[in-house]
Structure 1
Amino acid sequence: MFEASEVKRLIEQGLPCELVVIEGEDGVHFRGIVVSAAFEGKMKVRQHQAVYATLGRLMGNEIHALQLQTFTPAQWEEGRGELGM
């Protein structure tokens, strides 16, 4: 089982991010927000794939699920109020 802090560290290590917030209490199911300029011009599915790639073989094995919300920095500035952040 994994801690949310370890999932966060792996994402930050593998992808240049302005913000990474990961939550999860049971060690196998997580949810998070990732903000990265690397997402510019990419469809949501490609953004999510970029995050999953940072976790490699852990996805689907040790990490059963990761529910993501991904944003470019501009999208984050526009939409974060709706998320209460």
Structure 2
Amino acid sequence: MTADQLKHIISAGLACEHIYLEGDGRHWYAIIVSPEFEGKRQIQRHQRVYATLGARMQTDEVHALSMKTFTPAEWAQAQGE
């Protein structure tokens, strides 16, 4: 799987303002910014992202996904805006 494919899968299932991905095809690191994360704890945000991947996590198509998740306001603050 390529970064573009993974980005497309996540953004098709989750309204994202920003997605950054890097990885080797099986092990990924992501920064994901979504208004859908408002009012959710980190574990709930991660579960929401994993839900977009569905069976791809079980079939080992995506072996590992480490992520940082932000609301748009949190992202703006992290960027110093």
TM-score normalised to structure 2 length: 0.92
Aligned: 1:35 with 2:33: yes
* TM-score for both structures, normalised by structure 1: 0.88
Give yes or no for the alignment of 1:62 onto 2:57: no
When the two structures are aligned, how many residues end up with a matched partner? 79
2:22 corresponds to? 23
- 1:53 alignment counterpart: 51
Instruction: Indicate yes or no: 2:54 matched with 1:44.
Output: no
Gaps of 5+ in 2: none
Residue 78, structure 1, aligned to residue 77, structure 2: yes
Partner residue, 2:3? 4
Which whole-Å deviations, capped at 9, do the CAs of 1:22-47 have from their partners, x for residues lacking one? 111x2100001000000000000000
Following TM superposition, the consecutive aligned residue runs of length 4 or more in structure 1 with deviations greater than 3 angstroms are none
Percent sequence identity is 49
